[in-house]
Structure 1
């Protein structure tokens, strides 16, 4: 794990200077001070390394957004929490975000596209959860509102990451986006996107982290890495719950409380909450 993290850290420095395409495995290994053989023990290819970056970036952001939104004590706060947490995450991870958004159009990789589609569907789930707590003028416009919210996100992220517009006040940006979204929710009456045509936006990609087997594999890796005994034991018990057909949601929720503050456990906790429909 230490070597993997070293490769990611050093590769990011090179990617920031010269981009994905212009950076070779040889340059990465030279910058790390390791052999090519050591690189290939950690990553099968440069593409796999890039996907690891995307996984790390998106898992952290989505887990943070989902947790923050569902932790809101009042539904009125969900929208502002969503916009604030999303933009703060991109701001905090601006180095990789800038590289990725500038270069993703040049990186054609089926595995990468599948991962991006998967994470996009997770964002859709969170936004639809928020929309279900808004007062809409016409309930049939909810999927149009989903697209509009995602449009706001993309346009403003482009301004900050691609055009490098300074993000001087995150609170004002959040209030502005909330105001625009509420106007659309209140006054939009003509739907264009139906539930049926929006289904493609909600479909998850096959072979993702959603099934119990893959969540268990993630837990087993965490058990090896984590030293805190309470968290390690909680992960063991969560693994047993996933392997059993009869589970107590109260027990699972309590175990999730034990691991929720560990950054390494955020993604597993998110996947388990989703699997069992457990609210914060």
Structure 2
């Protein structure tokens, strides 16, 4: 039974199959038996139920799953044992069980990708810090941890798409809770700073890209130009921060996260500045017209 593969997250409730309709039977899904299916099966003869369950126990059927703590029919156990299909049970209501299993399978079966960067939880926001090797990502993450924020992943971040709007990042098992600092080596963040300094995973809300300061680049000074980076099917907000001696990157990134949260709640400092500027222009225009008059 252990070699049964689950390749799709969809769950099937085999009501039609119990009536003998198998034209479109999704045999590669977990077959969920709830109150309706169990009640219907009790009205079938032993031979009819055995025939139906025998047809349902296909080579690619991952499992039979029974909700609400119901006792599986003996015919189900018999035919499942013959076909080596696991029979599982749960006390959860059928709809709730279907939702939990589907959500779990969506995460486990999602396509994963590794990205170079550092993922930090800042005030509950997952901030992915990217940039060229040696630009100071890990050192900045260490400063953020000392300021009370939490490390999720350093150097390599495994990301996957949870739903149409959400990208989740986590650390590979071999790097979990570890941080590499040049000149020191590998440090164990949980042992040094406590369990409150780490998280296993987080939704990525913002990407902060660090790049070496160049006098030839005209950096955005008022935040009027929005940037995004595509990860799978989700476009995530992105800001670029130039790095040079004397800039406290931890405080800058912390402020960027706070500003992003404020924008998400409807407060945009850039728009406030534009309104103030427009008001100032109108005042000066009115004064100039009054002077000419």
TM-score over 0.5 (shorter chain): no
Structure whose alpha-carbon radius of gyration is higher: 2
- Calculate the TM-score normalised by the size of structure 2: 0.21
Q: Which has the higher contact order (CA 8 A, sep 6+)?
A: 1
- Calculate the TM-score normalised by the size of structure 1: 0.21
The structure with more strand, counted as a fraction of residues: 2
